[in-house]
Amino acid sequence: MIDKLGVSHFTMDSDLVDFLGHITIPVAGAQFLHAAAVHAAARGFGYDDMLRQNVAWVLSRMAIEMKSYPELSEEITLYTWIEGAAGLFTQRCFELVSSKGESFCYARSIWAAIHMETRRPVPLDTESINAYRLDRPCPIEKPGKIPPVEHLVEGEPYRVRYSDLDINGHLNSIRYMEHLLDRFDIALFTQKKITRFEIAYMAEGKYGMELSIHSRESFPDAYNMAICHEGKAICRAAVAWR
Amino acid sequence: MIDKLGVSHFTMDSDLVDFLGHITIPVAGAQFLHAAAVHAAARGFGYDDMLRQNVAWVLSRMAIEMKSYPELSEEITLYTWIEGAAGLFTQRCFELVSSKGESFCYARSIWAAIHMETRRPVPLDTESINAYRLDRPCPIEKPGKIPPVEHLVEGEPYRVRYSDLDINGHLNSIRYMEHLLDRFDIALFTQKKITRFEIAYMAEGKYGMELSIHSRESFPDAYNMAICHEGKAICRAAVAWR
C-alpha cells in the first residue's frame, strides 16, 4: 500500500500571486483541489474511478487558515491526507510549508459523492477510503454553519460566464471564491490580510445564471457572505481579516 | 551554455479544461507565459534579472493556433524558444505536442521591456538574448494588425476587479483573453472550435477601470474584437473558429 500522506511541491511564481505578491485564497484552493485529485487517483478513488460507478466527487465545504504569506519564488511543500470518511462525507486536510520549514497554512475540506444523473449524494465506500486515514494534526476549526446574510444586505449582480465553468459545465469551485473576494474593496487587501476563509457549497451555478453576491461585516473584520440565485443561497462564506 | 530550446511538461488535468473537456486558450496562454518566465530566468534575462535594471517584460502580442484539442489526462510537452530580438522587441515561439507525438498547437509572442517608472519601452540587450536564438520552424502567421471594431459595435461593460490583477497591479494578460472569450455565446463553443486566437496589448488595465468589450463577425467565423476604456482600445484581438 502506498503512503497515506500525499506530498507535492509548487513554486510561488509571480502568476500565483495578487498585486501585493501574496498567494491568493483561490490559488491556494486550486492547489488543494489539484493535490486532492492526484492523491485520490493514486489510491483508487479518483475522478476516473468514481466515473466508472457513475458518481462524481463534489466539494461540500472548505476552510483555509493563513498564518502568514510566503515570499515570491519560495518552494512550497503541500501535504494532504484523509482524516476519515463516514456515511455521505469524507474529510480531507491540507498543510502548506515553506522552504524554511514554516507551516503557514492549514485547510480542511469536506467532500460528498453525487450520482451523475440524479445529482443526489450516494453512500461512500468508507472502508476503502478509511484504509488511508491518517492521524495527523490539522489545528484549525472545522467548517461550520454560516449565518445567512442575503436578506440583510443588497447583493451585487453577476452572471455566470464561459470562463467560470468547470468540466461538468458548472460554476467552478474556485470561481465562487474569486467572486466572493471581488466584493471586498481593494483598500482592505492593502490594509489587512485574510486569516480564515470558509465556504459552504449548496447548489450548482450554471451558465448564464443571474447571481447576487452579498457581504456583511458581522463583527469587526469578520464578514459573512452568500451567493444567491433567485433569492436562494447557492453558497455561503465567512471571511476573517487581521 | 544551456540548451536554446526550453522543454517542460504538464498534464491535461480536469482543472485545465472547459465544459467540453478542451484546453482553453487562456489556459494554454498561461502555460506559455509560465514557460517563458522559466526559460528566460534560466538564461539570465528573467523577471528578477530585469528588475535589477528597473525594467519589466511586457507581452505585446500573442497568436495561438490550435490544430486539435488533446484528450483529458494526456501528458503534454511544451517547447519554447527565441526566434530573435531586435531593437525594442523579442520574438518567442511555443509548440505543444501530445504524448502520441502529435504537434497540435503553435504560438508566437512578441515582448518588450518597459522601464518600471516611466512605463516606456527600453532598448533590449539583443546580443544576450540572440545568443539563445534558435532556428526552429513555427509554421503559423505572425501576429499582425487587427482592424478596430469599437466604433462599429456596442461594447459590453466590465469593471476590473481584484481577481483580475497581476503582481504589478494591472489587468493580467490572461484575464484579457478570458474577458474576450466570454463575449461569445456558449452555443458557439459547442458547435465550433477556435483555430486561431490573436491578441495585441496596447495599454494597461487598472483596478476599477470601466471597460467595454466589443466583438464583430467581420467574415464568417472570423471575429475582430477590442477592449476599450473611455472609447480608446487597450487591446485588440482576432478570433477564428471552425
Distance in angstroms (rounded) separating the CA atoms of residues A66 and A109: 15
Distance in angstroms (rounded) separating the CA atoms of residues A211 and A208: 9
Task: Transcribe B167-199 into DSSP letters.
Answer: TTSBB-HHHHHHHHHTTS-HHHHHH--EEEEEE
Report yes or no: B187 at the A interface, CB cutoff 8 Å. no
Give φ, ψ of B233 to 5 degrees. -70, 130
CA distance readout (Å), B120 to A49, B87, B134:
53, 14, 28
Distance in angstroms (rounded) separating the CA atoms of residues A184 and A182: 5
| pLDDT for the residue numbered B47 | 86
| pLDDT for the residue numbered A48 | 86
Q: Do A161 and B182 touch (CB under 8 A)?
A: yes
Q: What confidence tier does A71 reach under pLDDT thresholds 50, 70, 90? A: confident
Instruction: Tell which of B162, B171, B175, B176 to mutate to test the A interface (max A CBs under 10 Å).
Output: B162
For A123-148, how does the pLDDT look when each residue is reduced to its tens digit (9 = 90+)? 999 999 999 999 999 999 999 999 99
Query: Residue length, chain A?
Result: 242
| pLDDT for the residue numbered B27 | 96
Sign of CA dihedral A9, A174, B47, B141: positive
- Residue A10 pLDDT more than 90? yes
| pLDDT for the residue numbered A104 | 98
Q: What confidence tier does A15 reach under pLDDT thresholds 50, 70, 90? A: confident
Report yes or no: A166 at the B interface, CB cutoff 8 Å. yes
Q: What is the mean pLDDT of residues A186-206?
A: 97
> Which among B15, B163, B208 has the least Cβ separation from residue A178?
B163
Contact A128, A53 (CB under 8 A): no
Distance in angstroms (rounded) separating the CA atoms of residues A190 and A182: 14
Cell (9 digits) for B118? 516611466
Q: Which residue of B has its CA nearest to A159?
A: B182
List chain A residues with CB under 8 Å of B168. Answer: 19
Distance in angstroms (rounded) separating the CA atoms of residues B195 and B67: 6
Q: CA angle A26-A90-A36, nearest 5°?
A: 40
Give SS3 for B26: helix
| pLDDT for the residue numbered B235 | 98
- Residues contacting residue B240 through CB under 8 Å, at least 6 positions apart: B194, B195, B196, B197, B221, B222, B223
Kindly provide the ipTM of the predicted complex, given to two decimals: 0.94
Cell (9 digits) for A18? 495578487
A6-11 β-sheet, strand order: A6-11, A75-86, A89-97, A103-115, A55-66, A194-201, A232-241, A222-229, A210-219, A156-159
Q: In this structure, are strands A232-241 and A210-219 parallel, antiparallel, or unpaired?
A: unpaired
> Which among B21, B165, B179 has the least Cβ separation from residue A167?
B21
Contact B138, B80 (CB under 8 A): no
pTM: 0.95
Q: What is the DSSP secondary structure assignment for residue A100, as one 8-state letter?
A: T
Distance in angstroms (rounded) separating the CA atoms of residues B31 and B10: 9
E strand or H helix at B37: helix B25-42
> Which among A15, A167, A189 has the least Cβ separation from residue B33?
A15
Report yes or no: B196 at the A interface, CB cutoff 8 Å. no
| pLDDT for the residue numbered B72 | 87
Within its chain, how far is the Cα of B58 from the centroid?
11
In sequence order, what E strands does chain A have?
A: 6-11, 55-66, 75-86, 89-97, 103-115, 156-159, 194-201, 210-219, 222-229, 232-241
Q: Count CA atoms closer than 13 A to B138's CA, side-chain side.
A: 25
E strand or H helix at B6: strand B6-11
- Residues contacting residue B193 through CB under 8 Å, at least 6 positions apart: B22, B66, B69, B241, B242
E strand or H helix at B109: strand B103-115
pLDDT beneath 50, residues of chain B? none
Q: Do B165 and A18 touch (CB under 8 A)?
A: yes
- Residue A115 pLDDT more than 90? yes
List chain B residues with CB under 8 Å of A169. Answer: 19
Q: Which domains does chain B have, with CATH numbers?
A: 1-141 (3.10.129.10), 144-242 (3.10.129.10)
Q: Count CA atoms closer than 13 A to B120's CA, side-chain side.
A: 3
CA distance readout (Å), B168 to A153, A199, B116:
33, 28, 10
